[in-house]
Amino acid sequence: MRKKEWKVIVTFQSTTHAMALDKIFKEQGLSGRLIPVPRQITAGCGLAWCSPLDAKASVLDGINQHELHYEKIVELEI
C-alpha cells in the first residue's frame, strides 16, 4: 500500500494560471509538479500544484513575489 505524505497543494481557477505557476516554479527549481486535483479538494481547474510540505514557504514566497493567480492553498495528506 502506498504511504501517504503531507503535501502543500495549490489549486487554480484556470489552466492558464496553473501554467504560469508551473513555468515560474520550474525556472526556480522548486520541488513539486502539477497533478490532477485530489478528490478531497473542490477546484475550478483540474490541475493542481503539489509540493512537499517542507517547501510551503518557498511556494508562498514564489506566489507572492510573482503575483501568481491561485484559487486555494491547502495542506493535504495524499
Rg (CA), the chain: 12
With beta carbons less than 8 A apart as the criterion, state whether 12 and 18 touch.
yes
CB of 21 to other proteins, least distance (A): 10
> Using CB under 8 A, which of the segments 2-10, 16-24, 57-65 binds other proteins?
16-24
Using CB under 8 A, pick the residue from 5, 6, 31, 46 that binds other proteins: 46
CB of 43 to other proteins, least distance (A): 8
Assess 16 for contact with other proteins (CB under 8 A): yes
Assess 52 for contact with other proteins (CB under 8 A): no
Q: 3-state DSSP call for residue 58?
A: helix
Q: Up-side HSE of residue 47: CA atoms within 13 Å toward CB? A: 15
* Number of amino acids touching other proteins (CB under 8 A): 18
Residue in the structure block whose three cell numbers are 493567480: 69
